[in-house]
Structure formats: C-alpha cells, structure tokens
C-alpha cells in the first residue's frame, strides 16, 4: 500500500469520526440524560458502548468529548455566585466541565461534605473552597479541602489565587510528585497529620496527569483516609485509561 493511500485512509477515518461518531456520542449522551437524569449507569454499559464504537473508530478515547468542547468563560456558569466569582476564568478541556462544576456545587449544598480530598489542583480547587466558605455557616465543625498536585508551579499558582480570594484558610495544596508510571507518590504521614482524626467525605479524582492507567492506584491509596460510605468522583471517566480503572 502506498503512503498516499494510507494517508487518505487515515484522513477519511478522521473525517468520519468527527462528522459521524462524535455527533452520535453527543446525541446518545443527551438521550441518556433525558431518560435517567443524573442517575448512574453501570460500568458494563459504558464498556459495551466503547466496544461497539471501537468497531467503527480506531481513535483513542472515542467516548470522551472533552477535547472537542469549546472554551467558555466562567461567567457563563448557571450558578450566579460562581459566575461572578469565576468571570475572568476559562473553562476548557483542562478543567472540570461547566456541567460538572454545577453538579458538584449543588451536591455540596445538599450533602455538606466536611472534608474533601481533591486530586489535581486548579479551577476546581477554587470552586470547592468557595463552596466551603459559602456553606460553612451550616455546621460548627471545621471544614477542609486537601488538594494533591503533581506540579509545583501549579501548586504555587493556585495558592496565590486562593490567598488573593481570601480562601487560603479552607485549603491545603500538597505537592505530590509522580512516579515513572505516572502514579502519585503520596506522603501518607503528612496527609494523616493534616486530617488528624477526620476522614474524607468526598474524593474527587482529576489527576494525576499521565499515561493510561496512571489513576488506577489513586482511589485505593486514598481509601484508608475515607469515612465509610464516602463518595468518590472520577473526572474524564469516558477516556480509555479511566474505563480500565
């Protein structure tokens, strides 16, 4: 087969994926939302979907639409408090999606998590800190957000932003470098010292950034720091690496 024919074949698959597969996945997600609302679907369902889509598309992460989402301003968020707070920030493929931010914000109002462990600092850190500040009057217990971040420059940038917003008292951004396999190298003693007798109510996994499978050990390694029945959330869950988790 000539190189020209190979390039044309690859080009055709790319066009077919973006013009047929991607729109179908979007419509499929909308239909599921209408049928089931925010209710969960079993992992076996999504693995079956991945298998079916894989028959028509060889691209990696075909179920994930994050890379195709257009950037939008934080001012477009449907929650007025957040829209005002994040009006100068961009929501992109590197942050939690607008819908995810809104969902977690409303869930914070319902469940009032006292301790949150977040993997991957950034825009979400500001959202959770703002939520802890806004709803802290509901409980006399101290509230806490521990954010694990693999990059020192991100850690420093987030800490500066938190201090500028007067939210630093709610958050501890811990530097957690990664191994050659891309997995967190957690300082368990430091994390245990910070939490004390407290246990996490929520675990939000949006890190580390790395190769497929790098997040497989994240939840098991943090499980000892969670209370029984704690909620955990996995962002980018439709990517191949996350489906394998």
Residue whose C-alpha is closest to residue 124's, from 150, 151, 144, 98: 98
Q: What is the pLDDT along the chain (245 residues), one digit of tens a residue?
A: 444 444 655 565 555 555 666 666 666 667 767 777 766 767 677 667 777 776 766 666 666 655 555 567 888 888 888 888 888 888 876 677 888 888 899 999 888 898 999 999 999 999 999 998 887 644 444 558 999 999 999 999 999 999 999 999 899 999 999 888 888 888 889 888 888 888 999 999 888 887 777 778 888 899 999 999 999 888 765 565 565 66
pLDDT at position 1, please? 43
Domain locations along the chain:
3-54, 70-244
pLDDT at position 146, please? 92
User: CB-based contacts of 239: which residues, under 8 Å, 6+ apart?
Assistant: 61, 63, 64, 212
pLDDT at position 239, please? 62
Cα-based distances in Å from 199 to 138, 152, 173, 191: 19, 26, 17, 11
- Topology, domain 70-244: Rossmann fold (3.40.50)
- Reduced to 3 states (helix: H, G, I; strand: E, B; else coil), residue 229 is strand
CA distance 167 to 126: 8
Q: Which position has the token pair 């869950």?
A: 237
Q: Are strands 171-175 and 144-149 parallel, antiparallel or unpaired?
A: parallel
Structure tokens of 197?
């007798």
User: CB-based contacts of 135: which residues, under 8 Å, 6+ apart?
Assistant: 108, 109, 112
pLDDT at position 37, please? 72
What pTM did the predictor assign? 0.75
Cα-based distances in Å from 227 to 117, 201, 219: 12, 6, 13
pLDDT at position 70, please? 54
What H or E segment, with its residue span, contains residue 186? none
pLDDT at position 82, please? 87
């Amino acid at each position: 087969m000539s190189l020209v024919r190979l390039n044309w074949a690859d080009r055709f698959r790319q066009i077919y994926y973006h013009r047929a597969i991607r729109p179908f996945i979007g419509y499929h997600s909308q239909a599921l939302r209408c049928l089931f609302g925010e209710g969960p679907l079993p992992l076996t369902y999504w693995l079956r979907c991945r298998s079916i889509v894989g028959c028509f598309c060889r691209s990696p992460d075909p179920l994930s639409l994050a890379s195709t989402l257009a950037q939008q301003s934080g001012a477009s968020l449907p929650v007025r408090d957040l829209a005002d707070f994040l009006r100068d920030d961009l929501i992109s493929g590197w942050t939690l999606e607008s819908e995810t931010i809104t969902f977690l914000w409303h869930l914070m109002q319902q469940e009032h998590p006292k301790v949150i462990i977040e993997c991957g600092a950034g825009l979400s850190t500001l959202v959770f800190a703002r939520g802890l500040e806004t709803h802290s009057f509901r409980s006399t217990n101290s509230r806490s957000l521990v954010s694990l971040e693999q990059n020192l420059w991100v850690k420093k940038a987030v800490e500066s932003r938190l201090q500028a917003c007067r939210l630093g008292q709610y958050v501890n951004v811990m530097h957690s470098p990664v191994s050659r396999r891309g997995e967190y190298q957690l300082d368990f003693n430091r994390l245990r010292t910070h939490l004390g007798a407290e246990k996490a109510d929520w675990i939000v996994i949006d890190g580390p950034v790395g190769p497929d499978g790098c997040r497989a050990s994240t939840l098991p390694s943090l499980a000892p720091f969670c209370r029984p029945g704690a909620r955990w959330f996995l962002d980018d869950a439709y990517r191949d690496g996350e489906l394998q988790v």
